[in-house]
Amino acid sequence: MNNKGILLFSTLNPYPFWAGSENLWYDLLQWKGASELKFEVRLADSPVTRKKAEHLLTNNIGVSFYKHHNVNFLQRNFYRVKDSLFKAQDRTLPWYDEIGKKKPGLVFFNVAALADLADLYYATKICQKHNIPYWLLLQHGYEDFFVSDAQELEKLQSVVKGAKRFVFISNKNRVALERALGEKLTNASHTVNAIPDQKIRKAKELADQKAISISGTAHFLTWEDFHRVIKPSTCCWKRFRPMPGKTATGNCVL
């Protein structure tokens, strides 16, 4: 890679634009050597992403923000009308225009789920136009993921096969995408979601405080960082709550 740096987009759509799919790249950029790679992160603006950016800035990681269509009514409808008038083939997502302006050495797209790949057609066409390589990192894949028509398939192929590297965190995710495409990927590679040092140290502290035992009060540990009402891990520990009319003792360590 040349010395122009890496432009990283976190592509999660729902407000506040932060969830579990952001962990891998965020933990990577906490690494001391990350600043030497000249990362600049583009984030959808929200109080949560602003807070996360503070930690990135302390590690000399560049951060910039944009207003996402999901929270900017005027912007969303302006581009909707413009695309209609000019019969645009793709939905304009203006925050990706930064790729053509900055012309980085590499663009890194963190993709929350398979369904989000379609939104990257606009962005990856800019990369291809300027001969800028890009990587895709997929977090969530669904085994029932399929496209609805030939045009959608063509766009998906363009996004996926145009990537210099497509990084998966599980083999099942890769298989699900290859089934939807109807072909094997030659640019696929694999990694895993690692546990950062801070959480490993926390786990050791908890283990020292609460030694493993087969008797006495049960203690439960969850790595949950985000919304404890809707995340799957919450469903697990909620099952240990006492039933109506029953009594139980326990301690859930969050």
Q: What is the pLDDT of residues 98-110, one digit of tens each?
A: 999 999 999 999 9
Taking the CA of residue 16 as centre, how many other CA atoms within 13 Å lie in the half-sphere pointing to its CB? 9
Instruction: Indicate if the pLDDT at residue 233 is higher than 90.
Output: no
Alpha carbon distance 83, 63 (integer Å): 29
pLDDT tens digits, residue range 50-74? 999 999 999 899 999 999 999 998 9
The predicted pLDDT at position 241 comes to 57
What does the pLDDT average to over 16-32? 87
pLDDT tens digits, residue range 146-185? 999 999 999 999 999 999 999 999 999 999 999 999 999 9
Confirm whether pTM is higher than 0.85: no
Instruction: Indicate if the pLDDT at residue 221 is higher than 70.
Output: no
The predicted pLDDT at position 253 comes to 46
CATH topology of domain 6-190: Rossmann fold (3.40.50)
User: Range(s) for CATH 3.40.50.2000 in the chain?
Assistant: 6-190
pLDDT tens digits, residue range 117-127? 989 999 999 99
Instruction: Indicate if the pLDDT at residue 244 is higher than 60.
Output: no
What residues contact residue 130 under an 8 Å CB cut-off, 6+ apart? 99, 100, 103
